[in-house]
């Protein structure tokens, strides 16, 4: 049994050794490509299974010892935690988060498309009939003020310095909320984005209809780019987990949950600074009595900066999709 067992499995053990040796650098798993990281995980699981079989059915202690050592080395390589303090955090935001965003972009795009579809429908319905704004959960006092050409949104930020922490906290809470509900794929994502999308479409229909569009957008433009981008990323992270549970592929649902969950948490961590910056702009810049062009300039600057950051070239990307 031993000779046949070894003959069938030794190629996998050899490949696992090669991957471990390749990853034994300062960069660790980052020195491997995405496919090689997946291969390392698969080879590790097979070797662990082989070790269990060898312990029960083989009397060759050298084989058991070899497999035990191989599994320990692979386990340490995969699950070790490298304590690098501030440098690790800096590297994450400089390199890892943009790379993860690009690799998982289809989930962010899916949530954006869902939001846009609902918002466009709400816009069309409200443009045709103002009363649809009630269905879109838009307060009647807000609708009336728009019709009267009043800047009702200025009241939201009267106490900017005091309210900044509250705005930031609320933004982060919204991100966590959309992430949690989007774990229920499609249905949960639609449900959590529905109210915001309906309101977004309805209010835009009203301000365009009654000539208040420039006034509203000069107020929200500064913080909208970062805030909405972070919300879509957070929703996409939850959607990724939900779809992994439904269609795990060759993996078990548990394995898919662990793999996608780890990536989703990193996406959420990357969203927090976006929410903080958006909250600061909303609290300290948006309410200022300044020329609207300055706010649009802030919006353009955040959009250009965000695109440059998320698309910046970085280290070899080794995040499993």
Run of H or E including 181: helix 160-181
- Reported as a pLDDT band with limits 50, 70 and 90, residue 206 is very high
Residues 160, 279 share a domain: yes
The pLDDT, as a whole number, for residue 125 is 97
Residues 180, 64 share a domain: no
Residues 157, 196 share a domain: yes
Residues 246, 303 share a domain: yes
Residues 237, 108 share a domain: yes
Residues 203, 170 share a domain: yes
Structural domain includes residue 30:
yes
Residues 130, 40 share a domain: no
Answer with the one of 24, 53, 82 that is the final residue of a domain: 82
- Reported as a pLDDT band with limits 50, 70 and 90, residue 152 is low
Structural domain includes residue 315:
no
Structural domain includes residue 316:
no
Structural domain includes residue 87:
no
Structural domain includes residue 107:
yes
Over range 224-252, report the average pLDDT.
Answer: 90
The pLDDT, as a whole number, for residue 256 is 80
- Reported as a pLDDT band with limits 50, 70 and 90, residue 19 is confident
The pLDDT, as a whole number, for residue 87 is 72
- Reported as a pLDDT band with limits 50, 70 and 90, residue 31 is confident
Residues 292, 143 share a domain: yes
Residues 269, 137 share a domain: yes
The pLDDT, as a whole number, for residue 318 is 41
Alpha-carbon span 77 to 32, nearest angstrom: 12
Structural domain includes residue 243:
yes
Q: Which of 49-53, 56-60, 69-73, 240-244 has the lowest mean pLDDT?
A: 56-60
Residues 296, 152 share a domain: yes
pLDDT per residue as tens digits for the range 78-128: 766 444 556 778 888 988 899 999 999 999 999 999 999 999 999 999 999
Structural domain includes residue 220:
yes
Q: Count the residues in the chain.
A: 321
Answer with the one of 47, 82, 117 that is the final residue of a domain: 82
Residues 77, 176 share a domain: no
Answer with the one of 57, 82, 107 that is the final residue of a domain: 82
Bigger pLDDT: 166 vs 62 = 62
Q: Which domain holds residue 15?
A: 2-82
The pLDDT, as a whole number, for residue 83 is 45
Structural domain includes residue 225:
yes
The pLDDT, as a whole number, for residue 177 is 87
Query: What is the CB-side half-sphere exposure of residue 63 using CA atoms within 13 A?
Result: 21
Residue whose structure tokens are 């794929």? 185
Residues 48, 129 share a domain: no
How many structural domains is the chain composed of? 2
What does each C-alpha distance from 254 to 231, 238, 258 come to in angstroms? 26, 16, 6
Alpha-carbon span 90 to 314, nearest angstrom: 13
Are the CB atoms for 172 and 89 separated by under 8 Å?
no
Which residues have a Cβ under 8 Å from the Cβ of 20 and sit 6 or more positions away? 40, 70, 73, 74, 77
Q: Which of 82-91, 135-144, 158-167 has the lowest mean pLDDT?
A: 158-167
């Amino acid at each position: 049994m031993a000779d046949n067992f070894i003959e069938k499995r030794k190629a996998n053990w050899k490949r696992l050794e090669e991957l471990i040796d390749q990853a034994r650098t300062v960069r660790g798993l980052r020195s491997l490509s995405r496919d090689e990281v997946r291969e390392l995980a698969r080879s590790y699981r097979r070797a662990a299974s082989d070790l269990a079989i060898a312990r029960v059915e083989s009397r060759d202690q050298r084989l058991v010892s070899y497999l035990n050592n191989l599994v320990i080395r692979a386990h340490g390589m995969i699950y070790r935690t490298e304590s690098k303090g501030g440098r690790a955090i800096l590297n994450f935001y400089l390199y890892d988060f943009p790379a993860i965003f690009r690799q998982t972009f289809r989930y962010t795009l899916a949530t954006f498309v869902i939001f846009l579809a609902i918002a466009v429908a709400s816009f069309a319905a409200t443009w045709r009939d103002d009363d649809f704004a009630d269905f879109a959960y838009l307060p009647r006092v807000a609708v009336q003020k728009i019709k009267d050409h009043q800047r009702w949104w200025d009241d939201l930020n009267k106490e900017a310095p005091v309210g900044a922490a509250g705005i930031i906290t609320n933004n982060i809470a919204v991100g966590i909320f959309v992430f949690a509900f989007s774990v229920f794929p499609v249905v949960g994502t639609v449900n959590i984005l529905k109210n915001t999308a309906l309101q977004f479409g309805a209010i835009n229909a009203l301000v365009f209809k009654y000539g208040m569009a420039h006034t509203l957008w000069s107020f929200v433009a500064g913080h909208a780019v970062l805030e909405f981008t972070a919300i879509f990323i957070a929703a996409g992270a939850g959607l990724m987990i939900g779809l992994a549970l439904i269609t795990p592929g060759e993996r078990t649902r548990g394995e898919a949950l662990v793999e996608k969950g780890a990536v989703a948490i990193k996406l959420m961590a990357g969203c927090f600074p976006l929410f903080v910056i958006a909250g600061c702009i909303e609290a300290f810049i948006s309410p200022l009595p300044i020329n609207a062009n300055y706010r649009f300039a802030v919006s353009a600057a955040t959009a250009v900066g965000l695109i440059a950051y998320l698309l910046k070239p970085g280290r070899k990307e080794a995040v499993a999709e």
